[in-house]
Structure 1
Amino acid sequence: MKVWLVGAEGQLGKSIIAHVNEHCAVYKASLHLVCSSKKDVDICHFPSVSDFVTEHSPDIIVNAAAFSDVESAENNLKRCQQVNVTGVANLTNAAKALAIPIIHISTDYVFDGNSSVPYIETDSTHALNVYGQSKCESEALVQQISDKYIILRTAWLVSSFGRNFAKTVMSLSKQHSQLSMISDQLGCPTFADDLATTICHIILAIEKGKSDWGIFHYCGDTAMSWYELTENILDEAVIQQKITSRPDVFAITSDEYSAEAIRPKYSVMNCQKIHDIWGIVTPEWKDSLKRLVQNL
């Protein structure tokens, strides 16, 4: 199966490439990645997308590209819409023209955080910020255009690649003796290499004929705040001797933190559906954390 990986330069894209390379014996006979970044193809411009699929004839599209800077999106509405909405429409239309599936990555930020129990896939969406709104729109477009789609909502993605919260914490820990982190937003930190494994699992299942299309949640198995995530990262960094001194971490509220974008106070997601239908189980969070810190 020839897989067009869109957004290969992002943290998820790099994690997918690393996973396939690490397990090349497993995927050698059944999965071939065709990778692209924004310098290779402009997903916001349909002729560019059309030319790429004509040249490479993929069997499936994995869209890991996104305008994912939640803060910047508030002041860059046009660009966020181009990438997250127009770009997704172009990719989905290309997939439909070839009669192939598309796997599209979405986010927990499509929810408003007013729930008190983990969100399921059929819960109503109501995004609080520009980024989340663009993702809501992209989900709707994928469902309208394609009849062969997987929308994977994930949350709080961290990895050893790209810009993300875990790398920021490690960097700040070497510059400051005290850190302040938000304690009243709850979500499920997700390790990009675990998500990469899940995506490859789904691709191989599709290759074998499985076709349970729809929206699925995949995130880490433990809900926590940014404050608790920071504490966990630093504790593990001390254990692994990645840092020589540990800064003190102080809990603050969202109101005390100056931010452009409003974020949901509760964006925990239920992942039972992806387990029941695709047989995917989220790894133990602490095992993934150890692996993450090792690679930072």
Structure 2
Amino acid sequence: MIRGVFISLAIVWMPFTVVAQSLEDLRPDFIAGCVEGGNDAPMCGCLYDNWSANLPEDQHLLASTAITMFLGEMPQDPQKMMAAASLLQDMTSLLLQCASGELQVSTQDAPPPIPQTGDAIEEQLLYKRVTGPSATIEEMNRYAALVEARKARDRAAEQKAIAAKENRAQINRAALYAEYEAELARIHGRDITAWAVDDFVPLFDLYCRSGGRTEASCACAWPILADLSKYNAVPYMASRSPGDDVTTRLSAADYSAAFFTLSLFNERRAVCD
């Protein structure tokens, strides 16, 4: 499930290799990658500016790694990935706030205002004519044509806004996937049997939300999973996808037992959706 999402996003996102280290130098690379995904530059600027403003100075060197992860490119070094994961989480939390308007968009990246077109001015003038007593057939026809053209432009703008919203959702999923990969690398740093059931909460939450479920649904599902998880193979498998390297991380006995328990979990979690 998650891997399918990431592959589709990799087609949309152009990988950016960020080599600059100062926050000021990193900004253009981030805006370019964000806009390349079909998003509005002011929203991308809002996200970067609010994120970088709260970035501790000792984390500035990791900023480039967090940016490349956000744009869909995973670093080869698992330790660097895990170190940048917290910065990525901060960025993700700001994403929806910028997209929803809770945080002010960047005026620095805003395009210049579009001047009123000649058609708009003509439509206003003709409206006064066609609503009066002396309008001609030609004026009425011209006014009707201008109205239809305006409606067509409005429909195109609406479709563009819908596409931008979908792209923002894609960004969010890509960022969640990057966080998931960092958390998975942390879990894989030890044998699966060395972890307690509750240690899998972050991994399960990221997996759940990356699959398209809401935060509320995932939070609701975890207690159900934890109650069924008598051993740690269960939450681990609930946080992985078919085709992953699960069988190389678990014994055959744990895999078989967990597989049966997951069937019960998938039935019971329906109350959360």
Q: Note whether the superposition's TM-score is higher than 0.5.
A: no
Using the size of structure 1 for normalisation, the TM-score is 0.29
The structure where strand makes up a greater share of residues is: 1
The structure where helix makes up a greater share of residues is: 2
Work out which of the two has the higher radius of gyration on C-alpha atoms and give 1 or 2.
2
Using the size of structure 2 for normalisation, the TM-score is 0.31
